[in-house]
Structure 1
């Protein structure tokens, strides 16, 4: 077993409700406000559009069930970093942790901070560099809140998630015209009246799965969740059920309220629908909902991202300061500080070179999905390497993990293809090459005992 610098391990301080709020909050982001239009445009058919969303829910559930088996077998604050260590060793897991710590998690925090800053600047401008000021401010404030402790950050997360879900419920209410008769009558073609090409369906699925992305972070809280070992399974499944129902209802509401054609052509479908249903105040409310969604995702990403840093600190002597865990607060303090500093550095870099910054973050997707594919394969690997009795086993094994592995491999391929088409695939390579150099340096240091 790994030991950390303080000799203290994570305690079970997180309630199931707080865990659900973290998972729902990290999955439901700004994507659900944009992806429905993209999927409607690609598919061109109501039936196929909804089938794609249902398919995305099923694939995400397959992956979540794989993570549930691994999380109950190896509950650890390191989440899928820890699973990769068990399956393939510390070299592979370090490269994954490196990518998450340097770009994937911290880059997401920085980009979402800019989204929040864009909306808040319209409400309360903070001078000529208002967006940057808001971005820096929210990273600092949320880092401080998380340093206070897991109970405080989970409480904030629960409140933000409630507000975020309330915004989506407002869209659902507007789309079904529950409290208004001002929506124009729309006519949609019959279900499955046209069939898009298979490749286009695959492209639509990429966007849907990206919108469902984040459920894998549930593994990072498995060692801190109150209750029995089975609690994490219930939390993961229930969270995905909530998310799937909300996503489907939002899509149906947008199709019902705007019509498939207008939805496909719209760049701000949710704002249009709220405007039709509730007038100008409806469109302004959407800005609030998007900013809350950004806040919710930032906070949840901070919670799970710091735990990746903590797990790396446990495994590597040169990073041992990040393995300090404050049991009274339920926080890896130094890991949070490292994450905050990197996030602020990326905010600064993004302010200077916004296009390059967005590309750097976006094109690490090939790395992320490649490692997620390895996590799926680890279900098979660990069935062979570790014959320990499973508290929870993936249903319909091996079909369920195969579905997840195939989907992850397809997304990795699609991400590489997209990055190559933009001439930016080298960005992913550079990130991993620097990670390899860091790995070689750490290998020269004495490893921590296990």
Structure 2
């Protein structure tokens, strides 16, 4: 071990704290934006809701399945440890590398840019249009600097101990949960119109892709193959909006009674977020005509709904403030948890050695700053949105492999105590594997410009693994 008894992870996070990390890491800006793309792709209210419900069900099944693994291996690194124990260090390294290369850091960068974008909405001088430097295709805007500053501030806070990160996470997550519930309730009470609701559900299950031509909305019927392509595009957004729930497993070493509380936090956090997401979309359908959801300006469905509820000025500012709070809290959870993977990788000799040491505040300070540096560079790259699109393919691949690990460990390590058993085993875990595998294949088929680079990043880990072994 690279730590002493005095310098080790301290179990200081309660069940509430862990649940706030699950929910807070899941809720970013997606719920305010993604419904527009889903509506355009699927073409009807019933299918739009089906994509959100399916994402919620799939996420809940995965989270409940992870409860068994978290009870078996309540250690820092979470999913990395599960893969190492179920398979081997090579598979675990591919996951850790992909997390560092694109999943964790790319998500941090994209969420930071969403934060900066809405700060710029309230203060235009801090926005993307205020370009400071242009060199060829490279542009540096004030918004990019705001995004990087937010990452640095959150990283610094989290290097000072898990208690600081815990306070930010709990306060910001409770704030955005209450804000979202408030928006939904006000929308259903004040903004809902029976004629809009009835019109939106008149042809709820007639699928079709929507586009605007000559100022008119054109609906194109979907063939069977085109329908599956639309599902792939839609699920890319809804699943990503529901992702990052697994981050709580990375900080198992700092959770009280992790054998039980991680599983409970996974269930509670994912269930709360799923209910909020479904309710928010029902509210959109009660407040906005379907075409206004599909073609909301810059896909800002949340802004369009809030303007209908509160009026143009107040509504837009309300959503901007909510997204700023939501993204800041979301990134705190991502930053807090991510470095724990690199800590465990470093202990295995598969990452920078110093990332395997804890600082005087008993957190992996070096790993936090390495993560901060790479996420900041991704903000500068201007390619964070492309990276975000690549993320969901890699996420699905490793979720499938991890849940398959439950079957492997039942056979190879039956003697290990299990605080929880995977809910609905073997049917529900097997169902998740089938659904997630099908979605990954659909993404390769219909979104190759994003899925293939995502696959390439995973495969790049193969030579890196053998380089790391040689150095080890």
Do these two structures clear the TM 0.5 threshold for a shared fold by scoring above it?
A: yes
Determine the C-alpha separation between the residues in 2 that align with 1:371 and 1:91: 13
Tell me the residue number matched to 2:272.
Answer: 242
Tell me the residue number matched to 1:441.
Answer: 467
Tell me the residue number matched to 1:116.
Answer: 115
1:188 is matched with which residue: 199, 211, 214? Answer: 199
Deviations 1:357-391 (A, max 9, x none): 53244224333321221101101111111012322
The answer to whether the 8 Å contact 2:8/2:362 transfers is: no
SS at match of 1:262: helix
Determine the C-alpha separation between the residues in 1 that align with 2:304 and 2:451: 36
Alignment gaps of 5+ in structure 2:
133-140, 208-223
Aligned pair 1:165/2:177, yes or no? yes
Q: How many residues align?
A: 434
Tell me the residue number matched to 2:316.
Answer: 283
Determine the C-alpha separation between the residues in 2 that align with 1:345 and 1:203: 28
1:253 is matched with which residue: 260, 273, 283? Answer: 283
The answer to whether the 8 Å contact 2:232/2:439 transfers is: no
Aligned pair 1:233/2:263, yes or no? yes
Task: From the superposition, tell whether residues 231 and 360 of structure 1 become closer, same or farther in structure 2 (CA, over 3 Å).
Answer: closer
Task: From the superposition, tell whether residues 367 and 204 of structure 1 become closer, same or farther in structure 2 (CA, over 3 Å).
Answer: closer
RMSD of the TM alignment (CA)?
A: 2.4
Task: From the superposition, tell whether residues 436 and 202 of structure 1 become closer, same or farther in structure 2 (CA, over 3 Å).
Answer: closer
Task: From the superposition, tell whether residues 210 and 112 of structure 1 become closer, same or farther in structure 2 (CA, over 3 Å).
Answer: closer
Q: How much does 1:441 deviate?
A: 1.9
Determine the C-alpha separation between the residues in 2 that align with 1:402 and 1:426: 25
Q: How much does 1:254 deviate?
A: 0.8
The answer to whether the 8 Å contact 1:313/1:323 transfers is: yes
Determine the C-alpha separation between the residues in 1 that align with 2:200 and 2:314: 31
Tell me the residue number matched to 1:146.
Answer: 158
Task: From the superposition, tell whether residues 247 and 425 of structure 1 become closer, same or farther in structure 2 (CA, over 3 Å).
Answer: closer
Task: From the superposition, tell whether residues 154 and 258 of structure 1 become closer, same or farther in structure 2 (CA, over 3 Å).
Answer: same
Determine the C-alpha separation between the residues in 2 that align with 1:216 and 1:438: 24
Tell me the residue number matched to 1:83.
Answer: 82
Alignment gaps of 5+ in structure 1:
none
Q: How much does 1:433 deviate?
A: 4.9
2:367 is matched with which residue: 322, 335, 350? Answer: 335
The answer to whether the 8 Å contact 1:62/1:400 transfers is: yes
Moved over 6 A (4+): none
Aligned pair 1:402/2:423, yes or no? no
1:305 is matched with which residue: 317, 332, 338? Answer: 338
Task: From the superposition, tell whether residues 317 and 282 of structure 1 become closer, same or farther in structure 2 (CA, over 3 Å).
Answer: closer
Aligned pair 1:362/2:364, yes or no? no
SS at match of 2:419: coil
2:457 is matched with which residue: 420, 427, 431? Answer: 431
The answer to whether the 8 Å contact 1:171/1:270 transfers is: no
Determine the C-alpha separation between the residues in 2 that align with 1:318 and 1:157: 27
Q: How much does 1:163 deviate?
A: 2.6
Task: From the superposition, tell whether residues 193 and 15 of structure 1 become closer, same or farther in structure 2 (CA, over 3 Å).
Answer: closer
Q: How much does 1:259 deviate?
A: 3.2
Give the 5 Å matches for 1:375-386.
Answer: 375-386=402-413
The answer to whether the 8 Å contact 1:81/1:308 transfers is: yes
Tell me the residue number matched to 1:4.
Answer: 2
The answer to whether the 8 Å contact 1:72/1:222 transfers is: no
The answer to whether the 8 Å contact 2:233/2:447 transfers is: no
Q: Going by fraction, where is strand more abundant, 1 or 2? A: 2
Tell me the residue number matched to 1:346.
Answer: 378
Moved more, 204-213 or 112-121: 204-213
Q: How much does 1:249 deviate?
A: 1.2
Tell me the residue number matched to 1:324.
Answer: 357
TM-score, normalising length: structure 2: 0.85
Q: How much does 1:73 deviate?
A: 0.6
Task: From the superposition, tell whether residues 301 and 192 of structure 1 become closer, same or farther in structure 2 (CA, over 3 Å).
Answer: same
Q: How much does 1:64 deviate?
A: 0.4
Q: How much does 1:311 deviate?
A: 1.1
Q: How much does 1:195 deviate?
A: 4.0
Determine the C-alpha separation between the residues in 2 that align with 1:68 and 1:334: 29
Deviations 1:241-299 (A, max 9, x none): 21111111111111111133432332322212211221111111111112222212211
Deviations 1:303-328 (A, max 9, x none): 121111111111116633111124x6
SS at match of 1:19: helix
Task: From the superposition, tell whether residues 6 and 399 of structure 1 become closer, same or farther in structure 2 (CA, over 3 Å).
Answer: same
Task: From the superposition, tell whether residues 192 and 203 of structure 1 become closer, same or farther in structure 2 (CA, over 3 Å).
Answer: farther
Q: How much does 1:157 deviate?
A: 1.0
Q: How much does 1:203 deviate?
A: 4.4
